[in-house]
Amino acid sequence: MVAYLSQTPNTYHVIHGYIRNHLAVMRSTKYRLSSTVFPQDTYPDFPSRGGFLMPRASVPVLATASERIPAYFGFLVLAAGLWYRHDDRFRVYGVQDEQCLYAEAFVVHGVSPGRVEEVWRGLYKERQCNMTAPLPS
């Protein structure tokens, strides 16, 4: 993560994560959004769930945006006029059972505590994958 941030331009002015592109607006799921609130058929590009990095300076502008619109984080980012950057290592859909992919991921969404322990053991105790990073404490 430190290497990524040190090699990425505008790190302190950009929200980093998994950016969704041209996603159809959900009208009937638990994530539904009424056409009164958002009449378009597709969302603008936005940072998605799962996990992301955001600079401390973005918190006040996001808080101000939240006073104007009752919406999801992605809409707050847009309303606040913030920039974002996509990186596939923010894994919002998990990595299936490919354990070595966890070594490259920044965030993996939807992993059970048991699976976290299994992956940790495989990556760091048993060294099942060829990793160049030092062993975490």
Chain segment 47-104, per-residue pLDDT in tens = 777 788 888 888 998 899 889 887 777 788 888 888 888 888 888 776 766 777 888 8
Break the chain into its structural domains and give their ranges. Answer: 2-86, 94-137
Joined tokens for residue 69: 């619109």
Percent share of the chain, pLDDT over 90: 5
In the predicted structure, residue 3 carries a pLDDT above the cut 60: yes
pLDDT at 130 over 70: no
Q: Write out the H or E segment, with its range, that includes residue 113.
A: helix 113-120
Question: What is the pLDDT, as a whole number, of residue 137?
Answer: 42
**E strand map for the chain:** 14-17, 19-20, 46-47, 83-86, 90-91, 107-108
